[in-house]
Structure formats: C-alpha cells, structure tokens
C-alpha cells in the first residue's frame, strides 16, 4: 500500500507539474500574441494614422478649366483658401457614388452638429458624355445644398484625374444594358481626395467610407498640418 501510495503521489505530482507548465506556456503564448498585436497596431498607426494615406509633401495640382454646375468656370481658385474633399464619380453610378456621397453628407451633418470645420465637397464627373451641367447640380444638391459638381471636356477631366491618381474606364452594362439608358457603366476609383487650403492633394481617404471615420480622419490631417 505504501508503494502504491507513493506511485499515486508521484503521478499526481507529475500531472500537476505538467499542468503548471502547460498553463505557463499558454499564458506566455497569449502574452506574445498580445504583444505582436500591439506592435502591429503601432506599426499601422505609424505608417498611416488614417484609413488611407497622408502625402508628405502634399502634391501640387494643376486644375484645368472645367465647368461647375452653375455654369461658371472651375479653377484652382475654387480649391484654395479652404479644405476641399473631391470625389470622382458619375450620376448613373448604381452603388458606389450614391453610397459615398451619402456618407459624406452624413459626415457634414455630424460636423455641423458639433460646430466643427468641414471641407468644401466637389463631385467631379467621369462621364461628361451623359452628365450635363443641370443634371449634375440636381444630383449633388440632393445630398447637400452646399455640394458642387464639376464637368467639362473629357480630356481635361482625365488630366485632372491622372494628377490625383484616379483611374476610370467605360465598361459594358452587361445585364443592365436594358435598364441603363446609356448602355454602359464607368468603373472608377472610390477614394475621397483631400486637398489642403493651398489647393494641394494631401490625403487619400480609402473606402469603406463611414461618416465618423471620414470626420475623424479629416480632423487628424488638419491637426497634423496646424
């Protein structure tokens, strides 16, 4: 009986030691994982404090003579003296454009409610063939009366888009050809483009666009440039 008791005690001690080692290993593993996650979060924060990219230095933009929805010429003067938020899209866009413009409109309401600064919003059409001046005005003002829209010669729009790393391409409407009046869609970049008061491109704000994130990221860029 004594021998058996000793064996039982020995086995119990071994199990206890093994359990302690396993728990210690698990705790160390969890600590290592947490440390890795914190390091990764810090690296991401150091890389870009916003959901997108801040340019340093800001990129100078040459603005071609386009046309605003009120019929007046759109120039660099429309982008200086204040912050501006540009989005390239088109009125026949079935999803990305209305969702993005809706998010920006909500962002503006949040800013107004909190008495916060908000950039001027400019919608640049990548479909000048169908987006006429009057149509553009009605489209953007549906989201907010202060928003403006810009169109013009296709080559001038492309010249502005290339400077801002915006790409777009006309595509077949496919199954939507019967319901789409023009018979085509335009695939385009979906980033919001932030310009500083000097009219220089300073940040790409990437999707998905959430009103609170847009407002937070805008304020982050402003704070970094004060």
Residue 68's nearest CA partner among 129, 134, 151, 130 is: 151
Residue 192 has pLDDT above 90, yes or no: yes
For the chain, the structural domain boundaries read 1-47, 52-224
The pLDDT value recorded for residue 173 is: 78
Topology of the domain comprising 52-224: Glutaredoxin (3.40.30)
Q: What is the pLDDT of residues 4-24, one digit of tens each?
A: 555 455 544 554 555 555 555
Share the mean pLDDT of the chain: 85
Distance of alpha carbon 145 from alpha carbon 136, whole angstroms: 12
% residues pLDDT > 90 (the chain): 70
List helix spans (H) across 58-150: 96-113, 133-143
- Look at residues 95, 74, 80 and name the one whose alpha carbon lies nearest to residue 207: 95
43 pLDDT exceeds 50?
no
User: What is the per-residue pLDDT for 41?
Assistant: 47
**For 70-120, what is each residue's pLDDT tens digit?**
999 999 999 999 999 999 999 999 999 999 999 999 999 999 999 999 999
Confidence check: pLDDT of 37 > 70: no
Confidence bin at 172 (pLDDT 50/70/90): confident
Q: CA end-to-end span of the chain, whole Å? A: 82
Q: SS3 breakdown of the chain: % helix, strand, coil, rounded to 5?
A: 45, 20, 30
């Amino acid at each position: 009986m004594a021998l058996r008791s000793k064996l039982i005690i020995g086995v119990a001690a071994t199990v206890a030691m093994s359990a302690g080692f396993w728990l210690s290993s698990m705790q160390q593993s969890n600590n290592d994982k947490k440390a890795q996650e914190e390091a990764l979060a810090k690296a991401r924060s150091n890389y870009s404090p916003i959901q997108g990219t801040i340019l340093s230095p800001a990129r100078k933009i040459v603005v071609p003579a386009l046309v605003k929805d009120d019929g007046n010429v759109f120039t660099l003067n429309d982008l200086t003296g204040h912050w501006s938020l540009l989005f390239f899209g088109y009125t026949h866009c079935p999803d990305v454009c209305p969702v993005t413009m809706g998010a920006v409109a909500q962002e503006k309401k949040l800013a107004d409610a909190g008495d916060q600064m908000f950039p001027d919003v400019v919608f640049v059409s990548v479909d000048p063939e169908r987006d006429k001046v009057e149509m553009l005005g009605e489209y953007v003002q549906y989201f907010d009366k202060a928003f403006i829209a810009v169109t013009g010669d296709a080559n001038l729009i492309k010249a502005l888009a290339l400077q801002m790393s915006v790409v777009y391409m006309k595509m077949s409407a496919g199954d939507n050809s019967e319901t789409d009046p023009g018979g085509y869609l335009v695939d385009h970049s979906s980033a919001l483009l932030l310009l500083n008061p000097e009219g220089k491109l300073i940040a790409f704000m990437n999707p998905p666009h959430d009103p609170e994130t847009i407002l937070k990221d805008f304020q982050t860029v402003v704070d970094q440039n004060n």
